[in-house]
Structure 1
Amino acid sequence: MKTASILGVHFHSITLPQAVDYAMGRIRARQQGYIVTPNPEIVDLCRQDTAFCNIVNHAALVLPDGIGVIYAAKILGEELQGKVAGIDFADALVAAMAKEGMRLFLVGAKPGVAETAGANLCAKYPGLVLAGTHDGYFKDPLTVVSAINDCGGADVVFVCLGAPKQEKFIAEHMEDIHATLFCGLGGSLDVFAGVAKRAPDIFIKLGLEWFYRLLKQPSRLGRMMKLPLFMLVVIKEKLFVRKGTHK
C-alpha cells in the first residue's frame, strides 16, 4: 500500500471503499490493529511528540482526515487519492459490519452520548450488534478495558477521546482488550448521537467544512489558526528541506 509522507506522518494513499474493505479483511482474519485519522492539527502534535508520531505511524491505516492534508500532499508532491474523513469511514465501516452481524463497542464523549450514538447506529444499520459503551470521563483506563472484556469483547472499538489521548490509550491497552480493530475517531460519537451536526454537503465538497465549524463556533478561531500555520510549515518543508529532490 502506497504511503505519502507529510511532515513525518505516513498517510496511506487509499480511497474510502478500499479502507473499509481492508478493515473488514483484518476483522475477519482476527488480525488485531488500529486505525488513525490525522488532520493537520494531529500532524502538528506528531511534530511535537515523537512517541505519539511513532504510535500514529504504526497504525494499520493512517487516513487523511482534513483538506489541509490533501493540500499539503499536493505541495510536497506526495500522492494521496483524496480525503477520507474519520466520520465517513466510521459510518461506512459500521454499514459493512452490520451485514455480517459484527459487534461494536463505543468509548468516549459525555455520559449518555455513546449509548445514544449506539442506538442510532443500530437503528440505521440493522444487524449491527452494540456490544457496549463507556463514556470518556474515566480516571482509570483499566475500567474501560474491563468493560469491553466483560461484555464478551467486540470486533471493533471506536475510541473517541480526542488526540493524542485516544491513540495513546489504544497503543497502551490494545493487547489486553478482547477486540480486533480499534479506531481513534475524535468527536464522531457526538455526530452519531445527534449532539453535533456536520457541515452541509456543499461545504464538505468544497473542502470548507472547517469554515462551517468556525461559523457555528467562533470560539474555535484559535484552533483554526493552526491550519494556515500548518500550511506555512509545509511550504517551508517544500522550499528548504525537499528542494532539489526528485520522487
Structure 2
Amino acid sequence: MSHDYVNILGVPFINTSFAEMESILTNHIDKQEKTFVVTANPEIVMYAKENKDYQKIIQSAHYVVPDGNGILLAANMLQKPIKERVTGFDLTMSLLEEGNKKGWHVYLLGGREQVNKRAAENIEKDYPGINLVGRHNGYFDWEDGQVAEEVAAKAPDIVLVALGFPRQEEWITTNYHRFSKGLFMGVGGTIDIISGEMKRAPEFWQNLKLEWFYRLLKQPSRWRRVLVLPQFVKQVRQSRKRD
C-alpha cells in the first residue's frame, strides 16, 4: 500500500489521519512485521538537518509521524497540508489499548529506574490484557548489548524506547538487526506521563495548540527548545523559496 508523504527539510512525514496510522501499525504488529517509527517535532527536524548521520537514521524509518503543531504549520507553508497531528503519546496510548484487547507483548525501555518501574506498574494495572515481558531503565552500557539481547530474546510485539532523541532512534537502528519482529518507536517523555511523573497539557491548552507553552511553564528548563521554533519556520520559508 502506497502512502502520501510531505518532505519537510529532508524529513519525509507520512500524510495520514491518526486513525489510519493506528490501523497501519496494528496491521504490521498483527503480521509480526518489524517496523521502525519516529515521532518527530520541529526540534528533531532541525537537529536532523544539522546532523547528517541522524538524518539518515530518520530517513531509514518506515514511518515518521508529525508530533507537533509546528510540523502541520510547516506543511501548510509548503502548501502540502498534513491531515492530522499524530503525537507519540496518543499513538502509544492507542496501541496499548489495542494491545490490551489482543494480548500483545510489550517491552518498556528508558527513563530513570523509578519512573520506568512506575510506568510499568501503571501499564499492568490499566491494561491487564497486555503482557509486559520486560523493562529496563535508560541507564545502561550500550557497548555490551545486553539489553538488546534481552529484548531480542523476549521478542515483544511493541518496544517503547524512551531514551530521548537522538539516543532512542540511534539505539533502535544500532540494534535493529538483532530483532526478528516488533514495532520499535521512540516515545521520549511519554514514559514520564504514563508513570505519573508529569501530566499532559489539559485539553484547553491542546485545543489552542499551546501544549508546548504549557510544558514550558511546567519545565522552564525547556526554554532553549522553544528557540528552535523561529529558526525552524525561517528554514521552511527559505526551502519554499528554493522550490
Give 1:241's aligned residue. Answer: 242
Kindly report which structure 2 residues correspond to 1:78-157, keeping only aligned pairs within 5 A, or say none. Answer: 78-140=80-142, 142-150=145-153, 152-157=154-159
Indicate conservation of the 8 Å contact 1:134/1:147, yes or no.
Answer: no
Kindly report which structure 2 residues correspond to 1:1-247, keeping only aligned pairs within 5 A, or say none. Answer: 1-140=3-142, 142-150=145-153, 152-238=154-240, 240-242=241-243
CA distance in 2, matches of 1:179, 1:29: 9
CA distance in 2, matches of 1:218, 1:158: 26
Moved more, 104-113 or 55-64: 55-64
CA distance in 2, matches of 1:165, 1:140: 11
CA distance in 2, matches of 1:61, 1:230: 21
CA distance in 2, matches of 1:208, 1:49: 28
Gaps of 5+ in 2: none
Indicate conservation of the 8 Å contact 2:10/2:49, yes or no.
Answer: yes
**Secondary structure class of the residue paired with 2:157:** strand
CA distance in 1, matches of 2:181, 2:112: 23
CA drift of 1:119 comes to 1.7
CA distance in 2, matches of 1:139, 1:56: 23
Instruction: Normalising by structure 1, report the TM-score.
Output: 0.93
Moved more, 52-61 or 208-217: 52-61
Indicate conservation of the 8 Å contact 1:87/1:185, yes or no.
Answer: yes
Gaps of 5+ in 1: 243-247
CA distance in 1, matches of 2:217, 2:201: 10
Indicate conservation of the 8 Å contact 1:157/1:179, yes or no.
Answer: no
Any idea what the Cα deviations from partners look like across 1:46-98, whole Å, max 9, x if unmatched?
10122211221221221000010000000011131111110000000111111
CA drift of 1:109 comes to 0.3
Instruction: Normalising by structure 2, report the TM-score.
Output: 0.95
Matched-pair identity in %: 35
**Secondary structure class of the residue paired with 1:63:** strand
CA drift of 1:236 comes to 1.7
Moved more, 173-182 or 19-28: 173-182
CA drift of 1:178 comes to 4.8
**Secondary structure class of the residue paired with 1:157:** strand
CA drift of 1:111 comes to 0.9
Amino acid at match of 1:7: L
Any idea what the Cα deviations from partners look like across 1:123-156, whole Å, max 9, x if unmatched?
2222011111000011235121122234x32111
Indicate conservation of the 8 Å contact 2:33/2:181, yes or no.
Answer: no
**Secondary structure class of the residue paired with 1:20:** helix
CA drift of 1:5 comes to 0.7
